Amino acid sequence: MSSVIERQNPADGDPGDAAGPVNAGSFDMRRVLHRETHSSRAAAAGIAAVLVVLVSLYALLESAVRAIGQPPWLIDPQSAAERIVALPSGVPPLLLGVTGAVVTAAGLFFFLSAILPGRRARHLLEEPRVAVVVDDEVIASALARRARLAANVTPEQVMVVVSQRQAVVNVRPTSGVPVSENAVREAVEDELRAMAPIPLPAVRVNLAESGVIGA
């Protein structure tokens, strides 16, 4: 999948008003490209908000029940606070371990969601008037074709994996037919320079020690 986003041309419009619209357009373009290349944190934020609301509503309910002199709905807030302070006494080790693991996993999920960049498997292809957002699978397909032609093998003998910083080319040569690792690397690097993805991945070529029997 790929997306094409038209850029604003600074030459369009009134030169006297160029500074404001151009800067605003550039800022909007950066925001659009950031949304296209980074995953949204709305899901994690929504889950955190729902959990906070539920805990707050439950605490409010228990406080209201206690204020009117009725028995607690699930557990008395004061009793819950005393049990938390008294931890780990009075709690089976297995239950304590499972609870700790769940709380740690939840905390780690929200912590990593907050600090990690959350990049999608996409690259930008810069053009003068448009910004093209391309999935890494599309780039990998193009690189696999160039590697296949350079190695003179079938499509099934080449597999390319593209990440943000690296393009790994795995080639299984045909038995008895030598394959030049440098030729494959140069062909893939030439294709990458022509595509000019941002950021530009480094190329690594892996030649399998065992070949396949040619048809």
3-state secondary structure of 188: helix
Structure-model confidence comparison of residues 115 and 111, the more confident one: 111
Q: What is the pLDDT of residue 28?
A: 62
Sheet holding 122-126, edge to edge: 2-6, 130-135, 122-126, 197-198
Q: What is the pLDDT of residue 187?
A: 92
Structure-model confidence comparison of residues 79 and 181, the more confident one: 181
Which DSSP string corresponds to 120-140? -SEEEEE-SSEEEEEEHHHHH
Structure-model confidence comparison of residues 10 and 71, the more confident one: 71
Which DSSP string corresponds to 62-116? HHHHHHTTPPPSS--HHHHHHHHHHTTTTS-HHHHHHHHHHHHHHHHHHHHHHHS
- The whole-angstrom separation of Cα 191 and Cα 27 is 31
Tokens of 194: 């022509």
Q: What is the pLDDT of residue 76?
A: 74
Residue with tokens 């003179």: 152
Q: What is the pLDDT of residue 69?
A: 79
Q: Does the pLDDT at position 78 exceed 80?
A: no
Q: How much is the average pLDDT of 119-130?
A: 66
Structure-model confidence comparison of residues 120 and 157, the more confident one: 157
- The whole-angstrom separation of Cα 207 and Cα 195 is 24
- The whole-angstrom separation of Cα 160 and Cα 143 is 7
Q: What is the pLDDT of residue 1?
A: 53
Structure-model confidence comparison of residues 62 and 160, the more confident one: 160
Q: How much is the average pLDDT of 191-204?
A: 86
Q: Does the pLDDT at position 25 exceed 50?
A: no
pLDDT band, residue 197 (cuts 50/70/90): confident
Average model confidence (pLDDT) across the chain:
76
Which residue in 167, 115, 131 sits closest to 36, CA to CA? Answer: 131
- Measure the N-to-C terminal CA separation of the chain; round to a whole number of Å: 34
